[in-house]
Amino acid sequence: MSDFKIDKNTEIFLDMPNETYHSANGISKSNLDKMHISPLHYKTYKDTPQEDTEALLFGRAYHTMIGQPELFDGEFAIAPKCDRRTKQGKADYESFLLEAGNKTILSEKDFDKLCKMKEAFYQHPIAPKLIDGGIFETSIFWDNKDLDIRCKCRPDCINNDYIIDFKTTESSNPDEFMKSAYKYRYYAQSDWYQEGYKAAYGKRPKGFIFIAQEKTAPFAVTVFEADWYFTKLGEIENLEDARKFSNCVHSNKFYGYGYNENSDEYEIQKLNLPIYALKNNFADKMGG
């Protein structure tokens, strides 16, 4: 992985802090998710300070626990059991916060779950081998010269010319995870990260692998490799959303629903019945 060609406008950082990456210039897959809803949703998201949700904090702790366990104690602190309704409990907790400093606070319950998930992960016959010797949290920045935009991505792991991504999920059952992957547009992530990889290393990776692990016992792990159709859909939507983003940036117009780009006007939308409602309510009556 050390021998690669870098375009003069492509940057690769192996140790960039997560906060620095997120604040750096460049449109990411999560930004494209907002743009996919509407440019107005993207603009609102970018202009509104974002607070980490419990799910995001847990996900970040999981990524560190699995991929970079040597960094865990430096980034996370486990809250002690103490009754903060009492004077002594409040004092103990304040002392803990002072000692924790800027570390992210995890509950003892979440920490226990993370430890069990890590144990289940490393008992899987494939998952640990996929990340063994890999490079974690690589920040990649590149230019799309056709659209005149700066792009970025941060793969969880790069190993043996594969991009590997960790996903915590309610179910890693293949049928159920496929639905989640479609709902959360993981196909867009597959294409976007592979484009970033190509910008950094001069070629697309051999593939994109998702390691999905359930958040409840038995913390089942399933390994998936994105197929051609999965990634191709991401390519189609990413191109459309990136082009839309470029147009909005250069025109400084971030519109919502009902906007017609050709006429540069908002239009009244027709309110139709969905197909299933037409079928259920009119098929028999209309003789169809």
What is the structure's pLDDT at 135? 95
Distance CA(258)–CA(42), nearest Å, equals: 16
Query: Residue 142 has what pLDDT?
Result: 96
Tell me, what's the pLDDT at 5?
A: 38
- Tell whether the model's pLDDT for residue 252 goes beyond 50: yes
Domains detected in the chain = 11-49+126-251 (3.90.320.10)
Q: Are 188 and 206 in contact (CB under 8 A)?
A: no
The two beta strands, 221-225 and 265-266, are unpaired
Give the residue with greater pLDDT, 163 vs 145. 163
Order across the sheet with 139-144: list the strands: 11-13, 139-144, 149-153
Among 54-63, 95-104, 131-140, the least confident range: 95-104
Instruction: Report the alpha-carbon distance of residue 50 to residue 282 in Å, rounded.
Output: 46
- Maximum mean pLDDT: which of 9-13, 84-88, 149-153: 149-153
Residue 52: per-residue pLDDT: 77
CA distances from residue 177 to 151, 163, 213, 217 in whole angstroms, order as listed: 28, 19, 10, 17
97 alpha carbon, distance to own chain's centre: 29
Per DSSP bridges, beta strands 162-169 and 207-214 are: parallel
| CA atoms in the 13 A half-sphere facing the CB of 119 | 9
pLDDT the model gives residue 8: 58
Reported pTM = 0.88
- pLDDT over 90 (residue 261): no
Which range, of 203-207, 238-242, 257-261, averages the lowest pLDDT? 257-261
Residue 103: what pLDDT?
87
- pLDDT higher than 90, residue 2: no
**For range 248-253, the mean pLDDT:** 92
pLDDT of 100 reads 81
